[in-house]
Amino acid sequence: MNCWIAARKSAGIIQVELGKLIGQRQTFVSKYELGERRLDVAEYVRICRALKADPHAFIDEAEASSRRTDDL
């Protein structure tokens, strides 16, 4: 499970709810969670705020996860 999905599920939010919180549709959430779409900085910050996640800690976690994947 990628870090975006894990963060959303940890917050107890479904894709439809997150979409409403950030002013987007559920398909927007699905696409970035599946890696079909990239986020710009403003979108990234908006999503982190909606998930009550620290943007800096989230980047650190994503980077660590990426390193583990690169080592395989």
For residue 37, give every residue at least 6 positions away whose Cβ sits within 8 Å of its Cβ, in sequence order, or none: 28, 31
| Among candidate residues 67, 60, 30, the one with its CA nearest the CA of residue 47 | 30
pLDDT tens digits, one per residue of 31-66: 999 999 999 999 999 999 999 999 998 888 878 877
Domains of the chain: 3-70 (1.10.260.40)
Q: What's the confidence (pLDDT) of residue 21?
A: 97
Q: What's the confidence (pLDDT) of residue 56?
A: 93
